[in-house]
Amino acid sequence: MSVSDAASKPAVPSAQPARLSTAEGFVSGALAACVSATVTNPAEVAKTRLQLDGELQSRTSGAAGRQKVYKNAFDALAKTWRYEGLAGVQRGLGAAYAYQIMLNGSRLGFYEPIRRRINRIAGRQTDAQTILGNLTAGALSGVVGAILGNPLFLVKARMQAYSPSNPVGAQHYYANAWDALRSVYRAEGFKGLCRGMDAAMLRTSMGSSVQLPAYNLAKSRLAEYLPATSIWTYLAASTFSGACVCLVMQPADTALTRMYNQSPNAIGPDGKPRGLLYKNPIDCLWKTLRAEGVRGWYKGSTAHLMRIAPHTIITLVVNEGITQWWINSKMTAST
């Protein structure tokens, strides 16, 4: 074929890279999060109980205050296993699955569509990576997940806090997640299921605003030294992302746990009526700061890191794997 003949042939448009739809991204994120929840739920149980242990108890109260039940994250896990067994360390797992489907299905599934829409509105290429755009997309997708998953997170926190042997904070017994949702609705109405939603939005927007942007930033930097699809790239980027999330989200996470665990008819660990302690997450953070100091905000931070680091790693790595498998399947089917 001559050069002129080649030049006269119409150019073949380059194939567009395959992408998952929003629904497919939701499913991928939900599956990945459920795998992660199975592994990290014991650390979540320990974190929840540590955040409620010594709630609003002054550090200088000494013998006048109720003695703390747990020394640290490892002590919480050990005592829970000793007195409650596997059911104790995996308490609230069913509710955790349902919550993860709503939260991370939304957070991972809606992140890319929101980010691309932000880029189009700003007049940039849809695949452009900007710090502000990524942070905004992460926060907005997190808020969507927090709203949808709020009732499930509420009952999960209450189920994880319940201990027949070492009670801390308000105690609520539910047979399962469905029983918990019905009980809360009967006792407090729809308002009860929405309890703590403002704290959930604060917590999740803070965590989501840094999770995926930190992951993508680390992955793009590591791609200069490691293959972009290497498992080591995914692991290193996920570890960095998890550490960032823990640092930023911990105070809001403590406020959320305490907001969720309170209710008008709450009973304290001493068996006495306790009622509502906080008006909103800001009030919770302020009262915690006055009674327990800054360290009160970071109660359970070791357990939180034990949970959030592997949770972030497993969720993002499994999500990457499912996404790549799905994309490859779509590309193969189209050829």
Q: Kindly report, residue by residue over 262-284, the tens digit of the pLDDT.
A: 988 877 887 788 888 999 999 99
Say whether 273 sits in a helix, a strand or coil: strand
Q: CA–CA separation, 230 vs 321, rounded Å?
A: 11
On the question of pLDDT at 1 being above 60, the answer is no
- The length of the chain, given as a count of residues: 335
Kindly give the residue spans of alpha helices, DSSP state H, lying in the chain.
3-8, 22-52, 73-89, 93-121, 131-161, 177-193, 197-222, 231-261, 281-292, 294-297, 301-334
Higher-scoring residue by pLDDT: 292, 30 = 292
pLDDT, mean of residues 34-63: 85
**170 backbone φψ class: left, alpha, beta (φ>0; ψ -120 to 50):** beta
For the chain, what percent of residues have pLDDT higher than 90? 35
pLDDT, mean of residues 243-250: 87
**pTM, rounded to two decimals:** 0.74
pLDDT per residue over 198-223, tens digit each? 888 888 778 777 877 888 888 888 88
Give me the pLDDT at residue 183, please: 94
On the question of pLDDT at 11 being above 50, the answer is no
For residue 224, give the H/E element and its range: none
CATH for the stretch 22-57+70-329: 1.50.40.10
Give me the pLDDT at residue 4, please: 47
Say whether 335 sits in a helix, a strand or coil: coil
Amino acid making up residue 112: E
- What's the burial of 124, exposed, middle or buried (CB within 10 Å: 0-12/13-18/19+)? middle
Give me the pLDDT at residue 89, please: 96
Q: CA–CA separation, 142 vs 44, rounded Å?
A: 19
pLDDT per residue over 116-151, tens digit each? 899 898 888 888 888 888 888 888 887 888 888 899
